[in-house]
A and B are shown apart, each in its own frame.
Chain A
Amino acid sequence: MSQRDDDLPDDLQNDLSALYRQAVPGDARRDQQILHQSLMRLRWGHRRRWLLGAGGAMAAAAAVVLIVLLHKPPMAATPQFALFALGNPPPQGQVDILTAFRLSKALKLGQHPSPAWDRIGDGVIDQRDVDAWAKLAVRIDAGATP
């Protein structure tokens, strides 16, 4: 753009200013009103930031408390665990469905049964062993030879 394009004659600029930038008379009361409303908004913004900060800290603290409360203590601490002793499996002639129930209960309590309870022989005592003992009990009850 050339220098000429960027310029306007002074009187044209003056007339444009007269047309499009009219002064609004000062009014102290109105100024006070505008400032009052604006400062209310300003204070709200600062208060909100403080509340968000405090709220965030409280939420973090509440989360920690919740985690502690919901965390289950080790099974060894419960009285039920201490009272229930699985022991070894009964001789095969004495296996019944209660044998499977007892193993299942021991597993739920978090106990570590002896290797004698590993019915399927995979080195891990789990629900599959419970099922195996249960099947054995049923076969024995049905008269099958173990």
Chain B
Amino acid sequence: MQRAAAASLSLAARYACRVASDDDPRSDAQLIAAINAGDEAAFAVLYHRYRDWSAGLAMRFTANHADALDAVQDAFIYLAGKFPGFGLTSKFTTFFYVVIKSTALAIVRKRRRIINDDMVLAQAAAEAGKAFAGSPRAELAAVMAALPEMQREVVLMRFVDGFALEEIGQALAIPLGTVKSRLHNALAALRANPKVRQYFQQPVE
């Protein structure tokens, strides 16, 4: 009976991979409702909708593809465990940002035997520019790595992940004023840094 169940699950996953696509017109809230009702195909749609976003975010912390995908797996398993009865109270990305970050940091801590998240984050920031050594991007990465983690995170959530300021506050569980303050201080530090000043010498449209 267990073999039959496992086969059924494997079949469901293969089928779900085949049919799920970005063309599904349902909103995230509608997909969540369907999953709560037991619709496994809806879970597959949600996975495919946010797989690339999740993996790209996880890479920020893990700096390698295998660990990033492991983090994505742990995050979606965690998400699956919240059903039935899961209610989305914010945008899906606002909720899932924290989950991805948490699973990615846990994997890095475990693999590299690092004790705390601050060290993981500092290491991730330092490794960000390695692929662009010798280019202006490497300089930018070094400048970003020198920012306090709290400021760097807000800058990246705002300008790389596309979160609104309110969504950043919601995801990080901090007041909007704190978000604005961190962003303001980070941007001021970037503008003042001679290594990245050239970016700000162009007029902002």
A-to-B contact residues, CB < 8 Å = 1, 4-9, 11-13, 15-28, 30-46, 49
Contact = CB atoms under 8 A, between A and B. Distances in A.
A8 B52 contact: no
Contact of B80 (A6, A16, A32, A39): A39
Given A35-B17, A46-B83, A40 B9 contact: yes
Given A15-B136, A19-B144, A39-B9, A34 B80 contact: no
A88 to B, nearest CB: 70
A1 B180 contact: yes
Contacts of B82: 45
B133 interface: no
- For the complex of A and B, 7 pairs with smallest distance between CB atoms: A24-B55, A41-B80, A36-B13, A12-B199, A42-B80, A35-B13, A38-B80
Given A16-B160, A23-B52, A9 B204 contact: yes
Mostly, the A contact residues are: helix
Contact of B56 (A11, A24, A37): A24
B173 to A, nearest CB: 20
Interface in B80-129: 80-85, 128-129
Interface residues on B, range: 35 or more
A99 B79 CA distance: 76
A39 B16 contact: yes
Given A13-B160, A31-B17, A38 B184 contact: no
B47 A8 contact: no
Nearest to A37: B77
Contacts of A20: 60, 128, 144, 156, 160
B76 A45 contact: no
A25 B65 contact: yes
Contacts of A5: 183-184, 187
A53 B96 CA distance: 29
B28 interface: no
Interface of B: 9-10, 12-14, 16-17, 35, 38, 40, 43-44, 47-48, 51-52, 55-60, 65, 68-69, 72-73, 76-77, 79-85, 128-129, 131-132, 136-137, 140-141, 144, 155-156, 159-161, 180, 183-184, 187, 190, 196, 199-200, 202, 204
A32 B10 CA distance: 8
Contacts of B72: 34
A1 B159 CA distance: 16
Given A20-B60, A21-B160, A23-B56, A46 B47 contact: no
A8 B160 CA distance: 11
Contacts of B48: 31
Contacts of B55: 23-24
Nearest to B35: A42
A30 B69 contact: yes
A30 B52 CA distance: 13
B16 A34 contact: no
A59 to B, nearest CB: 20
Contacts of A27: 69
Interface centre among B76, B129, B144 (most CB of A within 10 A): B76
